[in-house]
Chains A and B, each alone.
Chain A
Amino acid sequence: MASTTLSETHDWHSEDARRRVRRRHAADRRMRFYGLAAIGVAVGLLAVLLGSLILSGYTAFVQTKVPLQIYVDPAQVKADDVGGGNYRKLVRDAFLELLPVELSRTEQRSYLDMLSSGAPFLLRDRVIADPSLVGQTVTMAAPLADPLDQFHKGVIPRDVPEEQRRVSDQQIGYYDQLVARGLISAPFNWALFTAADSRFPELAGLAGALVGSFYALLVCFLISFPVGIAAAIYLEEFARKNRWSDLIEVNINNLAAVPSVVFGLLGLAVFLGFFGLPRSAPLVGGMVLSLMTLPTIIIATRAALKAVPPSIREAAFGIGASRHQVVLHHVLPLAMPGILTGTIIGLAQALGETAPLLLIGMNAFITSSPGGLTDPATALPTQIFIWADSPERGFVARTSAAILVLIGFLVAMNAIAIFLRQKLERKW
C-alpha cells in the first residue's frame, strides 16, 4: 500500500476492496477455527483415553462368583496340619454338588474348569486363619475361572463360533443351568483391593502394589520434603549470589528436566550396584523417586517463600529477630500452604512414575504384600505395566481398573493440593 494509492480517488466500497476484506476476515475465521479444532482434538483425545479405559476397566470392579457349601472333611484336612490338606478335592466336590446330574469323566473336567483354579487356595487361607473350621461346613463365594468371568460380563459374546472363544458350548450349557438355579452372581470385587498379585486374573488384586507404592511414597516424602525445604530456604533466604549458588540453581533446573529413566540408571548403578541395597525394595524406589521429586519441591518452596511480602520480614527484624528466627518463625509458616501444595503435586508425579522403578526391579511377580521397606514389592504403575504385558483376557480389564485406581489417587491428591491452595494460601 504505497502512499500514492491512498488518494481520495481510492474507492473503499469497490467490489475489489470488499472482496479483499472478505478474504481477510475469512482468514481470521479460519485461524479461529483451527484453534478451536486443536482444542477440540486435545479434549476429544482425553475423552477417548478416559472413555476407553473406563469401558474396558469397569468390568473388573465386579467378579463373577458361585456360592459353595464346603464341608471341611477332617479326613482330607488334618486339624494339626491345616496347611497341607487336600483343599482341591473339597472345593471340587462342593462345586460338583451344585449340578444335580451325573457327569462323565470328560464332562466333569470341562465343568470343573469353570471354577477358578485359585479357589482351593482361598479356602486354605481361610482354614489356616481359623483352624476350628475343620469338620464344619464353610460357605464361600468362589470366583469362576477367567473365561467364564469374561463370558458372564459379556466380554466374550455368545454368538462367536465355539473355536474362537475360550468357553466351550458344553460349559455354556452348565453355566446356563447354574444361572437358572440363581447361583451365579457378580458382587463388587473387593479382592481387587485386598488381594495381592496372582497368575490367575480372577484372583489378582492391587493390595501389594498399593502397599508398595505407599512405602515408596513415604520414603520419598521423608527424604524430599525436609531436604527440599532446607535447600530452598538456603537458596532463597541465605545464599549469597555467587558462582556456587548459581551452579546449584542451574543444577536444580536441569535435574527437573532429566529423563526419568536416567534416574533409574542412577539408582541401579549407585544404590543397588555400589551400596548393595536390596533389589525391588520400596526403600530404593522411594530414594530414586525422592531425587526426582526434589526439584519440584525446591522450585515450589522458593516460589512460596518469594510470595511472602517483605513487610513480614521487616517487621520481624524490627522487633529484633535474627535472620534464622525471621525465616523459621515467620516466613516459613506463612509459606507452608504453598509448600504443601507443591509437595503434594510432586508426590502425585512420583506416584505415576514407572520407568525408574522398572530399572530397580520393582516389576517382580510378588504374591504377597510387602511387610517392610526392604521387602520385594511392586508399585501401582509397575503393576499396571506387568498386567498390561500379561496375555490373559482378564488382565486387560484388571489393567484398566488398576489405571482407574491410579488416576483416582492422582485426582484425590491434586484435589487436596487445590483445596490447600484455595483455602489456606493468603493473598497479600
Chain B
Amino acid sequence: MFELVIAALVTLGALGYLMARQRVTAMAAESRVHSHSLPAYHGMFVALWVGLPAFFLSLVWLLLQDSVIDRLVLASLPEHLTEGLNAAHESLVISEIRSIAGGQVFGDPSPEFVAAAERLKTWGSLAGWAMLATCAAVALIGLLVTRQRIRPEFRARHGVERILDGLMIACAVVAIVTTLGIVVSLLFEAYRFFERVPLGEFLFGLNWEPQIAIRADQVAGHGAFGAVPVFLGTLVIAFIAMAFAVPVGLFAAIYLAEYSGPRFRASVKPVLEILAGIPTVVYGFFAVLTVAPAMRAFGAAVGLDVAPNSALAAGGVMGIMIIPFISSLSDDALNAVPRSLRDGSYALGATKAETIRQVLLPAALPGIMGGVLLALSRAIGETMIVVMAAGLIAKMSVDPLDSVTTVTVQIVTLLIGDTEFDNPKTLAAFALGLVLFLVTLGLNIVALRIVQKYREKYD
C-alpha cells in the first residue's frame, strides 16, 4: 500500500510541477512581465507542497497503524478472553491472531480468534485504503491551495528555499532527537526498574543473580540485582585489554611517527586500519575458536587452571581490536608536536629515543591520554567479543584466568529471546544500559576536552 501512496504522490507532484510551470509561463507571457522566479521554482514549490505533507502523513500513519489495529482487535474480543491479561499475554493473543490471519493455523483456534483474525484482515486492508485516500486528499488540497498562489510576481524560489531550510533543520535535529530518545528511553525503563529494586541495592549490592527473578515466588530486591560484580568484571576485562593494547599501540605509533620511512608507514598504516575494520563478531569467534583453547592448552602445560571463557582471552582479543585506536590517535598526537621541538632536542645532541621520551611524549601526552580514554570507553562498551568469549555468571573475582561477566554481556543475555517490559529481569538491562551510557559519555567528553585543549596549544 505504501508503494501505491508513493506512486500516487510522485504522479501528483509531477502533475503539479508541470501545471505550475506551464501556468506561470503563460501568465508571464500574457501580462508581459518577467516572472520573479524561474518557472521551474514555481513547479518545485507546488510539487513540494503536494508531496511532502502527504509523505510525512503516510510515514506517521504506517508507524501507528499496526498498534492501533492491535488495540482495536483486542478491544473487540469478547470480555472473558481479555479479562485480566497483562501486556505479555496480550501480545501473545495478538501474535496468535496475526498468524491465523496470515494463514498459519496451528491446531484448532477458537472461533473468537478466527473471527478476530478476519476483522484484523479487513481492518488492515481498510486502513491501507484509508491511508491512500487521505494522503491523496492531502496532496490534492496542497495542489489546489498552492496553485492559487502561482503568479509571475510570486517569489517561488524563496518559498522553495524556506521549505528546504526547514527540511535541513529537521534532519540536523535528528541527532538531538536520537540522543534524547536514548536518554529518555533508558531513564524511563531504568526508573521502572528502580521502583522495584532500590538504587543503592543496584549500585552497591554484591550479588548478581538476575535469572532467579523470573520465578513467581522470587520477589526482586533480595540481593539478586547487586551490580558490583558485573562492574568489576567489566573493569577486569577492560583493564586486560588496555594493558595489552596501550603498550603495543603506543610503541607502534612511536615507530610509525618517528622511525619509519614513508613507504613503510604507507604500507603498515592500512594494515592497522584493517584491524579496526574487522567486525567485532569476528573477533568474538576468533577468541572462541583460537585464543581461548590456546590459552587453556598453555595453562595446562604450565600447570595453571584456565577457565574456558577466561577474562584473559576475552580481554586479550579486545586488546587486539583496540590497538588501531590507540596507535592512530597517538600517531596523530605525535605528529601534531611541532617540528621545532624535535629540532631543538636533536640540536642538543639527544638521540631519537631521548627526544621521544623526554620531549615528544610529554608534549603529546594529553593527546595520547585522550586516545587512551576513548579506547577505554570503546572497551567498556564493546559487546560481541565479551558476549561470545566471556562468562555469564557474575563473580567477585579479579583473577584474569577465571571467567567474569560484563555489563554488555548482561544486557544482551537479559534481553535475548522473548522480552516483555514488565519484569525486573528485562528492566535491569536498561538500568545497566543507563550506567554504560553515562560512563562512556563521561569518558568521551573528558577525552574530547583533553584533545581539544591540547590542540589549541600548538595551533
Contact = CB atoms under 8 A, between A and B. Distances in A.
B381 A260 contact: yes
Contact of A227 (B171, B279, B380): B171
A31 B356 contact: yes
A54 to B, nearest CB: 12
Interface in A10-61: 24-25, 27-28, 30-32, 34-39, 41-43, 45-46, 48-49, 52-53, 56
A261 B433 contact: yes
Interface in B323-373: 323-324, 327, 351-354, 356-357
Interface in A181-206: none
A244 to B, nearest CB: 9
Contacts of B356: 31
Contact of A231 (B63, B161, B174, B412): B174
A251 interface: yes
Nearest to B167: A230
Given A35-B259, A269-B189, A381-B279, A24 B351 contact: yes
A269 B388 contact: no
A276 interface: yes
B5 interface: no
Interface in B427-443: 429-430, 433, 436-437, 440-441
Contacts of A323: 161
A75 B129 CA distance: 49
B348 to A, nearest CB: 10
A277 B91 CA distance: 12
B412 A56 contact: no
A358 to B, nearest CB: 6
B172 A239 contact: yes
* Chain B interface main SS type: helix
Interface size bracket, A side: 35 or more
Interface in A204-244: 226-228, 230-231, 233-235, 238-239
Given A28-B352, A35-B255, A255 B248 contact: no
Interface size bracket, B side: 35 or more
A142 B188 CA distance: 54
Contacts of A35: 251-252, 254-256, 258-259
Nearest to B439: A259
A406 B255 contact: no
Interface stretch (B11-19, B131-139, B175-183): B175-183
Contacts, number: 266
Contact of A265 (B252, B290, B357, B433): B433
Given A25-B351, A43-B268, A353 B279 contact: yes
Interface string B257-295: 011000000001001101101111111111011100000
Nearest to B273: A414
Interface of B: 63-64, 66-67, 70, 157, 160-161, 164-165, 167-169, 171-176, 178-179, 181-182, 185-186, 188-189, 247-252, 254-256, 258-259, 268, 271-272, 274-275, 277-286, 288-290, 320, 323-324, 327, 351-354, 356-357, 374, 377-378, 380-384, 387-388, 408, 411-412, 415-416, 419, 421, 429-430, 433, 436-437, 440-441, 444-445, 448
Nearest to A269: B185
A24 B381 contact: no
Contact of A259 (B160, B275, B382): B382
Contacts of B258: 35
A270 B181 contact: yes
A58 to B, nearest CB: 14
B277 A414 contact: yes
Contacts of B377: 257, 259
Contact of B384 (A254, A355, A406): A355
Contacts of B320: 42, 45, 49
A230 B172 contact: yes
Contacts of A6: none
